[in-house]
Amino acid sequence: MPEGIKNKVAIIGMGCTKFGELWDKSPEDLMVDAFKEAIEDAGIEKKDIQAAWQGNQFTEVNIGHSALPLATTLKLPYIPVTRVENLCASGTEAIRAACYAVASGACDIALALGVEKVKDIGFGGLPRNNEDLMVLGTRGRVIFPNWVNPNPGMFAMMAIRYFDRYGLSIEEGKEALAKISVKSHHNGTLNPRAHLRREITVEDVLNAPMIAVPLGLFDSCGVSDGAAAAIVVRADMAKSFRPDPVYVKALQVAADSGESLLYTDYDYTHVETTNRAAIKAYQEAGVKNPREEISMMEVHDCFSITEMVTYEDLMISPRGKAKEDIDAGFFELDGKIPCQPDGGLKCFGHPIGASGLRMIYEMYKQLQGKAEKRQIKNPKLGLTHNLGGQPPLSVCSVCILGL
Amino acid sequence: MAEIGISDYSIYIPRYRLSRKTVSAAMGWLGPMALPGEKAVANHDEDSLTMAVAAGTDCLNGTGRAEIDGLYFASTTFPYRERQSAAIIATALDLSPNIRTADFADSLKAGTGAVLSAFDSVKAGGVRNILVCGSDYRLARPGSPQEMVFGDGAAAFLLGSSGVIASLEGSYSASYDFPDYRRSEDDKFVRTAEDRFIREEGYGRFIPEIISGLLKKYKLEAKDVTKVAYPCLNLRQHATIAKRLGLQPEQVQEPLFAAIGEAGVASPLMLLAAMLDEAKPGDKILIVSYGNGAEALLLKVTGEIEKIKNRGRLKKQLAYKRELTSYEKYLAFRDMIPVEVGVGGEVAPTQLPLTWRERKVILALYGSKCQHCGTPQYPPQRVCVNPACGAIDEMEEYRFSDKRGVLFSYTADYVASSIDPPLLFGMVDFDGGGRFVFELTDCDRDMLKVGMPVKMSFRRKYTDEPRGIHGYFWKAIPVVD
């Protein structure tokens, strides 16, 4: 195991726009809004930034290819700017690149910015993947079911397997999942920047229109526009900017090897990449017992079932026992490990490339005690989990942050 | 010289049935007479080519692909005006590229023409077996009398000189430029002459003429033939023709009119399959096709017929059906009304070099099998996906299209753009190894269960309309037999 980047990099400033159907905002508006908040929060000027990374997935929707959209929108002064893309994990990939650059000594102050302007596509759901569907490359379009957007169905199939394996009827399974969404909706009402801000009941979830059997509308996250940004610096410089920087304890990514999709050993009741990235992240951060040591988390709840299996993949809940923790309120705002304190993808919204940085934004604010109505008491370690792709074909990033 | 004739056969009937009552309830106000029974209609992802592949796949059951030296495809409804359907079917069936392929077109008797040509090819020597597929899904204008009549279906025959179950004893043909049906280059619907003219001067004249002609040519009488089958425009006329020829009711094959309808080129071939389903060694059977004249083939059933595994398929296929209760859905399936499938349903440009390079992967569902650890994988990999193996470039080709499997998981996607929502798809674990995600078709949401047995079916996956390209691929269907 390599030494890792624990405590080598600190976040000194962050920004995050309101997420939602921002019909009157351009991607440039979103980038400027997130950036402005981040540099003001860090107390730096634009000229201090030595390198930048832009995370976004859908170049098709008016952002465009390359990192020039970020460089030209912010008028960055001829520094290295790079676009990174790893599906829904693109935001975390942007900050990972920035952290590695700082940790390596290549630069001292770097910017990571994630942005997505999904709602310009003119229809519900995500933009079409066009010719380059997912990681199957060009032939994916010809051979994969629903090449336009297979995601809801691909996650739904995990719920079918999970229920089948653990002996839950569709009704029992759906009810456990419903509680996850009810919790996130409650948290969302406490967050002025969240996309969806209303309480819902278990009945609302169960009676909602079907999206992909067995998942309904309230099992699915919002599709939103938004941007989030972070300024990272060398850890030893951090306190010269602010008294309460947040340190990166671990940042790990795991990409699928093709096994889960093509090899019959995969059980489809978990996400292998989450588990692999989590094991490495805990090692890097020195976390021995995550259920006891992690104070709070923001996980990739694109669908309620994703959040449920993530509890287990992160080794917070034992395999097959997530339902017990859900029923016990373990993940609620006043529970042992609050999950999705800002509302999660479910309610804060999911502008793909911004989501990873949005999760980190919430952990950053919580660790600084600035999370207002949703402040968690004395958090020590916050975990973010950002998943791209689909359960059998995914890229997962896990980040652990602390003071 | 060895006998030459049919050595195997199969029939394919699409799962949906449209009751003629449903048609008359929707379009009766325009005046078409309500006929009894129902007609078989292709699913939205089927066409004449996919139905031919279904029939061909079944027909090849047991015969080595390497023994097939030709594929003839007969239809009047080809997906392309220029791009040979037989070559697409041959690729889907994974036949050798070094075979004869030909499309037989433009007349309802193209199917018997293809069978005769295959017979002649084998007889001439140089080819061992030829697979003949006949398939049609003709469109009649909504509200027309033909809409009540036309059905969809396919049949396939293997012509060769070994294991012959029915030897071809003779044939008789008549070709006339009879102006009953026509379609020009741009016609979507069949245009027809007056009903009575077609019935009396067409069917009523050519069918008796061709049967009498054949009997005379071979010095036979009506009573010498065990069973006769000929197409049917309506049941009363069908009976009248039998009476005129002196055929007893038990000598006449039930024309499948009430169960399937008039399936164009496929009709006489499906009737031949129906006769073979019931035939006994020594039977003399006569099959007649109608179209720009008519054509009759006389076959003699051999003892080999009792070895055929596929017999009785007609009954099974007739039994596995689902009524299409919505006439509007029928119109939408056949692209007769423009429906809103949303911007998400728009198709990006098809990459033709890709479809050419990957033709075996796409059309014949080829994956690879690791020679080191034996793991089958789809799509084909160069680096073995088995984590305990990982061998590089130790693969051999492996065909999944004829492998069965079970549904490992499934979903019904209500937000996917589909002409028949919800879009059903699932993860299939193949018997013998290998796993992939496939669309599911010819089944209903409530039938889906973890562990359900499935098999693969060649379908139209998408239509790239602006570029006139039909995207074919394989979907999973429930195993019903």
Task: Output the pLDDT for position A129.
Answer: 55
pLDDT band at A131 (very low <50, low <70, confident <90, very high): very low
* A and B: number of Cβ contacts within 8 A: 146
Residue A132 has pLDDT above 50, yes or no: no
Report the helix count and the strand count for chain A, using DSSP H and E: 15, 11
Q: What span, in angstroms and rounded, lies between the C-alpha atoms of A384 and A375?
A: 17
Task: Decide: A90 and A115 in contact? Cβ < 8 Å.
Answer: no
Query: Which member of A141, A157, A259 has the closest CB to residue B427?
Result: A157
Q: What is the CA radius of gyration of chain B?
A: 23
Chain A residue numbers with beta carbons less than 8 Å from the beta carbon of B407 are: none
Nearest to B430 by CA among B459, B401, B395, B410: B401
Q: Does B398 touch chain A (CB under 8 A)?
A: no
List the CATH code of the domain at A151-222+249-402.
Answer: 3.40.47.10
Q: Are strands B16-19 and B5-12 parallel, antiparallel or unpaired?
A: unpaired
Q: Does B386 touch chain A (CB under 8 A)?
A: yes
**pLDDT tens, position by position, B302-349:** 999 999 887 888 999 999 899 999 999 999 999 999 998 776 677 778
Task: Output the pLDDT for position A122.
Answer: 78
Distance from CA of B45 to the nearest CA of A (A): 13
Which tokens hold the place of B460?
């139209």
Task: Output the pLDDT for position B349.
Answer: 81
Q: What is the mean pLDDT of chain B?
A: 95
Q: Does B423 touch chain A (CB under 8 A)?
A: yes
Distance from CA of A310 to the nearest CA of B (A): 19
**pLDDT tens, position by position, A175-217:** 999 999 999 999 999 999 999 999 999 999 999 999 999 999 9
Is B461 in Cβ contact with A264 (below 8 Å)?
A: no
**pLDDT tens, position by position, A220-249:** 998 999 999 999 999 999 999 999 999 999
Is A160 in Cβ contact with B411 (below 8 Å)?
A: yes
Return the CATH superfamily for domain A9-126+225-238. Thiolase/Chalcone synthase (3.40.47.10)
Is B415 in Cβ contact with A124 (below 8 Å)?
A: yes
Torsion of CA B103, B109, B112, B114, to 10 degrees: -10
Query: Which member of A121, A123, A268 has the closest CB to residue B427?
Result: A268
Distance from CA of A133 to the nearest CA of B (A): 11
pLDDT in tens, chain B (481 residues): 579 999 999 999 999 999 999 999 999 999 877 889 999 999 999 999 999 999 999 999 877 899 999 999 999 999 999 999 999 999 999 999 999 999 999 999 999 999 999 999 999 998 999 999 999 999 999 999 999 999 999 999 999 999 999 999 999 999 999 999 999 988 999 999 998 999 999 999 999 999 999 999 999 999 999 999 999 888 899 999 999 999 999 999 999 999 999 999 999 999 999 999 999 999 999 999 999 999 999 999 999 999 988 788 899 999 989 999 999 999 999 999 999 877 667 777 888 999 999 999 999 999 999 999 999 999 999 999 999 999 999 999 999 999 999 999 999 999 888 899 999 999 999 999 999 999 999 999 999 999 999 999 999 998 888 999 999 999 999 998 6
For testing the chain B interface, which of A143, A149, A259, A303 should be mutated: the one with the most B CBs within 10 Å? A143
Distance from CA of B444 to the nearest CA of A (A): 13
With 0-12 CB in 10 A as exposed, 13-18 as middle and 19+ as buried, what is B63?
A: middle
Asked if domains A9-126+225-238 and A151-222+249-402 share a fold, the reply is yes
Domain definitions of chain A by residue range: 9-126+225-238, 151-222+249-402
Chain B residue numbers with beta carbons less than 8 Å from the beta carbon of A152 are: 411, 413, 415-416
ipTM (interface pTM): 0.93
For testing the chain A interface, which of B401, B411, B454 should be mutated: the one with the most A CBs within 10 Å? B411
Q: What is the mean pLDDT of chain A?
A: 94
Residue A133 has pLDDT above 90, yes or no: no
Distance from CA of A349 to the nearest CA of B (A): 19
Q: What span, in angstroms and rounded, lies between the C-alpha atoms of A212 and A216?
A: 7
> Alpha carbon of B327 to those of B14, B22, B26, B29, B147: distances in Å?
17, 6, 7, 14, 12
pLDDT band at A6 (very low <50, low <70, confident <90, very high): very high
Is A161 in Cβ contact with B408 (below 8 Å)?
A: yes
Is A262 in Cβ contact with B408 (below 8 Å)?
A: no
**pLDDT tens, position by position, A40-91:** 999 999 999 999 999 999 876 778 889 999 999 999 999 999 999 999 999 9
Residues of A designated catalytic: 88, 350
- List b or e across B1-11, with b for residues whose CB sees 16 or more CB atoms inside 10 angstroms: eebbbbbbbbb
Task: Output the pLDDT for position A343.
Answer: 97
Chain A residue numbers with beta carbons less than 8 Å from the beta carbon of B351 are: 131, 138
Is pLDDT larger for residue A151 or for residue B427? B427
